[in-house]
Structure 1
Amino acid sequence: MFVLNTGGLFAASSQKPNFVFLFADDQRADTIRAHGNDFIHTPNLDRLAESGFSFKNNYCAGSYSGAVCVASRAMLMTGRYWNNIPNVKKNGWASLDLLPTYLKEKAGYETYIIGKWHNGLHTLRAAFQNGASVYMGGMADHTDFEVQDFVAGQLQAKRRAKEFSSTEFANSAIKYIEEAPSDKPFFLYVAFMAPHDPRNPPDEYRQRYYKNRPPLAKNYKALHPFRNVKFTTQGRDEGLASWPREKSVISDQLCEYYGLVTHLDEQVGRIIDAIDQSKHADNTIIIYTADHGLAMGSHGLLGKQNVYEHSMKAPLIISGKTVPNGESAAFNYIHDLYATLCDYARIAKPEAVDAKSLRPLIEGEIKQIHEAMFLPFQDVQFAINDGRWKLHIYPQIDHYLLFDLENDPDEIHSLEAPNKKAEMLKLMKAWQAKTGSQAPLVVANPEPKEVDYSKLEQRLDKWQPQWIQEKYFKDK
């Protein structure tokens, strides 16, 4: 018996769906061909989109850290806004109901991790039972890094990865899928390092885009017009190219970024094929998303330490035999996936979890779960988006931006509209209260907003491979 709205195929038996959670790192929402980018090659993500359900307004809910991936993963694993996570800056959330452990304890799931874990050993042990090819760090040369297997709560000896990062993790995922038993459901979490820098895809993937270069973003700028974070250097990411941003340099980095995405796409395709050819094909749900987006030259920025759409949005596709094909423009947060997986596993989410299930959106029962998106970045940047209008507030420099996203989706032309600003500011304050944010939106002695770019240095980052050092850091 197949009854979609009451649990689909799984409602006809006691069997719960397996979850394969594929998590990219630094992937912009606009880097999937099926979602409208004709300049990128992503045939496997395209087939996921064609068979599954896409969310076009999927956001990371800001960050307490310049390493936005740390905050995004903390929110995903806890299902909470970062302001509502106790001792969040020190990864003090191991005692909460973490998603993998909650699935294990309430629904009998086997939990398994592969790939990047950037939130410390204590939380890793609290979240997962076992794993393979775990990378305990934030970033590394994709061709030269160490991984560890995770057995019964213990990390094993480090070993050199045998393959390019995306391939290494896909190989471990395929092995797990082929060997996973059918007597209990599993939650397989595969956290890729791509397309995070260093942007060093295999040469053939880089050359593909060098030979047919994608255009720069419509909101490309040579310089960001004001200081958008508290640090003079505007964060590590912003030192990975010189100022002003030369179009040729941004174009090269975009080709390398797209190359990483396309190579990642091929590895995702291998995982999809392994699922389709396995005994788990009929009862596995694939979730594909990323921790956040990236600027890549938009607004004169390179990184994700900002509240523009390109940096806070990420792709999200959910696919499985019982997931209808479709898409939604409704707002959602990445951490809403906590409640969504609980919904598919037919267990109630923990009472303290902020996440809301996306399943009613997928099945057409409702039109929205959030009326707006609130995006707080530390205590230096805040944004509120109601679907038409978006307000940015920068308290430390007494500055704001107001965009009409319906007519200016790339956030290029800030408007002077005092009444609308006041209306959006009221909405922002309401969302501050809702999400536990207590940071001031006005400060007594604001700092200058101007940036003296002549004093900012390009950074030679220790993770950049030799060919990138020679190409982008010639004078260092």
Structure 2
Amino acid sequence: MKIIVIEADGLRAEFLGPYGNDWVETPSLNRIAADGFVFDHCLIGSPHRAVQTAALWTGLHPTQIALHRSAVGNSVSLGDRVSSQETSGDGTLQEDPAQRSIVSLLRKQNWKTVLISPESSVLAHPLAQTFEEHRLVGKSPDDAGDEEHSSFRVVQGELDVTPVGRPAEDWAETRTAVVFSEVCETLSQIEGTALVWCHLSDLRNYWDAPLAMRMRHHEEGDPEPWSGTNVPRLRFRGEVDPDWLLPFVSAYAAQVEVLDLCLAGLWSTLEELAHREPWMLVITSARGMPLGEHGWLGTWHAPLHAELLHVPFMVAFSDGLGQSERSQALVYPHDLAVTVLNWVGVDTPIGRTGNTVGPEKTWVAIGGEDLLPIIRGEVDQVRDRLFVWDGHRTLAVRTRGWFAQVRLVGQEDAEEITDSSGALGSGEEAVPDEATLQDLTVVSARADLANLVKMRTQEGEDSLSDWEIEELRRRVRLFVKPDDRWEVNEVADRCPQIAGEFLKMTAEFLYSFQSLADVSRQSSYLALSVLPDNLVRGPEA
């Protein structure tokens, strides 16, 4: 029995054929989707790689990972207490996240575990030590000057960006191809039960797809294709000509096509393997990549929008389970941890606390959930909302009918965190410290406006004052889903009551996390208010 996870950091769902793209060539992904199961609405829980990676391996929400880190102190790594504690019998977490990681739990069942990546920082992650084998494959992007020439910059408009490095002459020479060759060789050689986790980072920081592949998307009159391997990381304060962005979009698309070509070889290996033993393949991403949308290019510091948050989640099985099916359920990438463990029959240590909730409350899964019941057609969904936290300034909430960004800071920070379109930025690439978390619990107490909206609604008043609408507009950005796929039509000022509901939901989310600050009582569920129909169904309600 084999489990293969392809985690392609920077892979956007919108560039793949199974998610509606018709101009990037992805025949292998199309075939895998036809033979497997596709989740249409998968959002990451955080854009910060360290906590998002830990979430993928543990099934905890990234915000839970951040609380863990604060609880043990920023000077203590997540893995420093791997063997220190155990889980309690009531479904709560008492140990370091490493103890409940998918890797640790499989190794207790004598599974082999292999982590393959071209990026040394991934192999150095505190939780990576739980893998039995670590394989660093391919050259570092530093060799091409990526770090020096792709540093983040804020600019007023278009500028000359210097290409650095030389793309591969043939796709088989790319770093992605080298990594996949190692994955296929590992699957051919390793005996017995094994987890092979492949982390790819080229979409995010090393564009080495051949120029010939980039030229496929070049038309007469377009700017010359991007000729470097470095990835520009820019924030634009002014308007940018879409044509100026075309070389970078084409380079990214070519990199996606390289990934697809490599998946063809992996799929052939798995077809041969299916004659000998069962396997499960998962394809997902830790985060997407902005390519000029909302004024950002190439950086994960960008606002919490679809180009950064919406990632693919595809699952295929050797026996054809879920073949050619797809789901509209709201899922996280870290659902894969619990799903994989349930597929192999390993109990997961996290669950509800056992307490009951009143008629106006419901358990909402923020940690990983088993998606096998959805794949088997037994249920339609495992949660009715998703939460994305940037670690400091913004909480995003997705329901079936809406997507909202809620600002967690005061007016004095507004200029600092808004981009040219007014979207909310995600701040520095860092895990929040304990002081920041305490500040956010204070923010959750600023529920005056939310309470006022609730009171006025209960009193039967149909409209809000101009001041209330302006305050909601400043704090909440609201988009209709799934119609507004690219989140360009902000409607908070036209739907103030809905915006107020999301503000209340944010306060409730932050209040609920106060009860989880004690590491010994960290659960995968929050008891939150039941969603009213107009938050579930969108404007049609």
Interval containing the TM-score (normalised by the shorter chain): 0.7 to 0.9
- The question of whether the paired residues in 2 share the 8 Å contact of 1:285 and 1:319 is answered with yes
Please identify the structure whose Cα radius of gyration is greater.
2
SS of 1:245's partner is: coil
- In structure 2, the gaps of 5 or more residues are 83-97, 148-167, 223-230, 352-365, 415-473, 518-541
Task: Identify the residue that residue 169 of structure 1 maps to in structure 2.
Answer: 179
Alignment of structure 1 residues 27-426 onto 2, 5 Å: 27-63=11-47, 68-85=48-65, 86-87=68-69, 92-94=77-79, 95=82, 96=98, 97-105=100-108, 107-115=109-117, 116=119, 118-119=121-122, 121=124, 123=126, 126-134=129-137, 140=142, 163-181=173-191, 184-211=192-219, 238-239=233-234, 244-278=239-273, 282-302=277-297, 303-305=299-301, 306-322=303-319, 323-325=321-323, 326-351=325-350, 354-394=367-407, 395=409, 396-397=413-414, 398-415=474-491, 416=493, 417-426=495-504
- The question of whether the paired residues in 1 share the 8 Å contact of 2:123 and 2:134 is answered with no
Moved over 4 A (4+): 88-91, 134-137, 139-145, 211-214, 240-243, 279-282, 433-439
Offset of residue 381 of structure 1: 1.5
Superposed CA offset, 1:428-463 (max 9, x none) = 233334556999xxxxxxxxxxxxxxxxxxxxxxxx
User: Compared with structure 1, are the counterparts of its residues 83 and 313 closer, same or farther at alpha carbon in structure 2 (3 Å cutoff)?
Assistant: same
SS of 1:288's partner is: strand
User: Compared with structure 1, are the counterparts of its residues 91 and 333 closer, same or farther at alpha carbon in structure 2 (3 Å cutoff)?
Assistant: farther
User: Compared with structure 1, are the counterparts of its residues 211 and 336 closer, same or farther at alpha carbon in structure 2 (3 Å cutoff)?
Assistant: same
- The question of whether the paired residues in 1 share the 8 Å contact of 2:45 and 2:52 is answered with yes
**Corresponding residue pairs, total:** 379
Superposed CA offset, 1:363-393 (max 9, x none) = 1111111110111112112111111122212
Offset of residue 421 of structure 1: 1.0
- The question of whether the paired residues in 2 share the 8 Å contact of 1:91 and 1:119 is answered with no
SS of 1:209's partner is: coil
- The question of whether the paired residues in 2 share the 8 Å contact of 1:289 and 1:315 is answered with yes
Give me the TM-score of the superposition, normalised by structure 1. Answer: 0.72
Offset of residue 262 of structure 1: 0.1
- The question of whether the paired residues in 1 share the 8 Å contact of 2:114 and 2:195 is answered with yes
User: Compared with structure 1, are the counterparts of its residues 212 and 194 closer, same or farther at alpha carbon in structure 2 (3 Å cutoff)?
Assistant: farther
Task: State how far apart, in whole Å, the 1-side matches of 2:58 and 2:256 are.
Answer: 27
User: Compared with structure 1, are the counterparts of its residues 289 and 324 closer, same or farther at alpha carbon in structure 2 (3 Å cutoff)?
Assistant: same
Counterpart of 2:22, as a letter, is D
Task: State how far apart, in whole Å, the 1-side matches of 2:284 and 2:270 are.
Answer: 18
- The question of whether the paired residues in 1 share the 8 Å contact of 2:137 and 2:182 is answered with no
Task: State how far apart, in whole Å, the 2-side matches of 1:375 and 1:122 are.
Answer: 22
Higher helix share: 2
User: Compared with structure 1, are the counterparts of its residues 385 and 277 closer, same or farther at alpha carbon in structure 2 (3 Å cutoff)?
Assistant: same
SS of 1:367's partner is: coil
Offset of residue 199 of structure 1: 3.1
Task: State how far apart, in whole Å, the 2-side matches of 1:340 and 1:58 are.
Answer: 14
Task: State how far apart, in whole Å, the 1-side matches of 2:291 and 2:480 are.
Answer: 22
Counterpart of 2:195, as a letter, is F
Offset of residue 337 of structure 1: 0.7
Give me the TM-score of the superposition, normalised by structure 2. Answer: 0.64
User: Compared with structure 1, are the counterparts of its residues 264 and 436 closer, same or farther at alpha carbon in structure 2 (3 Å cutoff)?
Assistant: farther
User: Compared with structure 1, are the counterparts of its residues 141 and 372 closer, same or farther at alpha carbon in structure 2 (3 Å cutoff)?
Assistant: farther
User: Compared with structure 1, are the counterparts of its residues 282 and 341 closer, same or farther at alpha carbon in structure 2 (3 Å cutoff)?
Assistant: same
Counterpart of 1:73, as a letter, is T
Task: Identify the residue that residue 450 of structure 2 maps to in structure 1.
Answer: none
Counterpart of 1:420, as a letter, is I
SS of 1:195's partner is: helix
Counterpart of 1:171, as a letter, is S
User: What is the alpha-carbon root mean square deviation over aligned residues?
Assistant: 3.1
Task: State how far apart, in whole Å, the 2-side matches of 1:330 and 1:60 are.
Answer: 14
